[in-house]
Amino acid sequence: MARFRRRSGTSAELVGESAMSDVAFLLLVFFIVSTTFPEIGLPLILPSKSGEVKQVARTNVMQVVTARTGLYYIDIATEPTPLSQLRGLVKERLADNDKLILSLETHPEAPYGNMIEALDEVMLAYEELDTAGVKRDKRISLKMLDVE
């Protein structure tokens, strides 16, 4: 039976190290070129200009008004609703009514960021309902308040 023996005479078996930096560079350049930071945003589909105007029942609309001060008012409430409560309220209404349209109405001089915060809460309400097994189509409408 053949026996494996170490080859006599240590033949210097070296892995070439000189090319290691080349490989490192290649990787570096590859990742620099291929890396793009994703853009995060809240997507929305605007209504078409040519689309017909539909009448909807008042009961199927929930108004979330962002006032000039940046405070939020729901429907025709005179007291502002804190942002932290908005999501819960939207969820309640959405769970009750599958035809509910969220109408985000904003004062022309209200800060854009405050409207986005409200929109974020509305989106989260949809998301949380979705994970709870309540499917609702996103019916969100953006509107600017008419002010005289």
Partner 1 sequence: MELRRKAGSGARIPTSSMADIAFLLIVFFMVTTIFKLEQGLPITLPRSVAGEKIPRERIAHIWIDKLGTISVDDLVVSVYDIEPLMARKMRENPALIISFNTDAQAAYQVVNESMERLKMANALRVSFTTMPEEG
Q: Specify the residue, 49 or 58, whose C-beta has the smaller distance to partner 1.
A: 49
- The whole-angstrom separation of Cα 86 and Cα 127 is 14
Contact code string over 64-83 relative to partner 1, x by CB under 8 A: --x-----------------
- Beta-carbon neighbour count of residue 117 at 10 Å? 16
The crossing angle, in degrees rounded to 10, of helices 112-131 and 83-96 is 50
Residues 75-134 close enough to bind partner 1 by CB under 8 A? 106-117, 119-120, 123-124, 127
95 burial (CB, 10 Å; 0-12 / 13-18 / 19+) is middle
Instruction: Tell whether residue 12 is a contact of partner 1 (CB under 8 A).
Output: no
- The whole-angstrom separation of Cα 74 and Cα 84 is 13
Question: Least separation, in Å, of the C-beta of 148 and partner 1?
Answer: 14
Interface with partner 1 (CB under 8 A): 18, 20-21, 24-25, 28, 32, 36, 38-49, 66, 106-117, 119-120, 123-124, 127, 142, 144
